[in-house]
């Protein structure tokens, strides 16, 4: 099977490793460029995107990640990982860098400060039943380029209609945390994407 890495300098790495392991792939915690080279695909977890970017610079992973993503390595970002994959950020920290690759604009901490986290059921393109989505200080997708397919939207409340999952070729991202809880269907979609490419 394919080797799928999890960017492991910061964030909820263990949850992703566990879920990938359940799906029968060889998961690999990635902290250095040689580990990245061994990967057929990569997950960028939830966590804190400014810290992730800084640590990626410190550990000399940043350019290597950017290059692999540009070369078409399948990559799946959740929450902070979505921010890392976005070409553009609104409400980012001053000078905040991203790896980019996804032709989207994300709004960081978009759902408001009173409501740091919430949960809800969403329809998700390609999956039969709804997904139970957990949002924690989550971004939403403010706008997408022509080649980006929205996969899920918030379906009620003040954020109704906001895009919270996308795909563009080999890149996938969700605003929420499919690594939390027992539903591995979204990870399976990503594993299939890695296997096909
Ligand atoms: N608010 C975080 C950030 O901007 C993302 C939160 C998360 O990954 N749960 O990086």
**37-50 per-position pLDDT tens digit:** 999 999 999 999 99
From the candidates 79, 97, 142, 187, give the one annotated as an active-site residue.
Answer: 79
DSSP 148: P
Which mutation among 6, 91, 94, 138 tests ligand 1's pocket best, with the greatest number of atoms within 8 A of CB?
138
164 alpha carbon – ligand 1 mean position (Å): 13
Q: Which CATH architecture has domain 3-196?
A: 3-Layer(aba) Sandwich (3.40)
- What is the distance in angstroms between the CA of the first residue and the CA of the last residue of the chain? 12
Indicate the domain borders of the chain: 3-196
Largest distance between two CA atoms of the chain: 45
Q: Where are the alpha helices (DSSP H) in the chain?
A: 13-22, 33-37, 49-58, 62-70, 80-85, 185-196
| Reported ipTM | 0.96
Please work out whether the CB of residue 83 comes within 6 Å of at least one atom of ligand 1. Answer: yes
**Per-residue pLDDT tens digits for 112-154:** 765 678 899 999 999 999 999 999 999 999 999 999 999 999 9
Spatial neighbors of 151 by CB under 8 A, at least 6 apart, are 124, 125, 126, 165, 166, 167, 172, 174
CB of 170 shorter than 6 A to ligand 1:
no
* Ligand 1 contact via 46 beta carbon (within 6 Å): yes
CA of 49 from ligand 1 middle (Å) equals 6
């Amino acid at each position: 099977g394919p080797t799928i890495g999890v960017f492991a300098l910061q964030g909820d790495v263990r949850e992703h490793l566990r879920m990938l392991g359940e799906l029968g792939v060889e998961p690999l915690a990635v902290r250095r460029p040689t580990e990245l080279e061994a990967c057929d695909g990569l997950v960028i977890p939830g966590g804190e995107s400014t810290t992730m970017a800084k640590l990626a610079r410190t550990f000399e992973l940043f350019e290597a990640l950017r290059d692999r993503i540009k070369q078409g390595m399948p990559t799946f970002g959740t929450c902070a990982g979505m921010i890392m994959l976005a070409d553009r950020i609104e409400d980012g920290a001053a000078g905040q860098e991203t790896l980019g690759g996804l032709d989207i604009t994300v709004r960081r901490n978009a759902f408001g400060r009173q409501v740091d986290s919430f949960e809800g059921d969403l329809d998700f393109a390609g999956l039969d039943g709804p997904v139970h989505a957990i949002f924690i200080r989550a971004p939403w997708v403010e706008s997408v380029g022509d080649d980006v397919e929205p996969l899920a939207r918030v379906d009620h409340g003040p954020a109704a209609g906001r895009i919270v999952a996308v795909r563009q070729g080999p890149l996938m991202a969700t605003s929420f945390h499919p690594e939390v809880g027992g539903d591995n269907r979204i990870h399976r979609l990503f594993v299939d994407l890695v296997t096909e490419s």
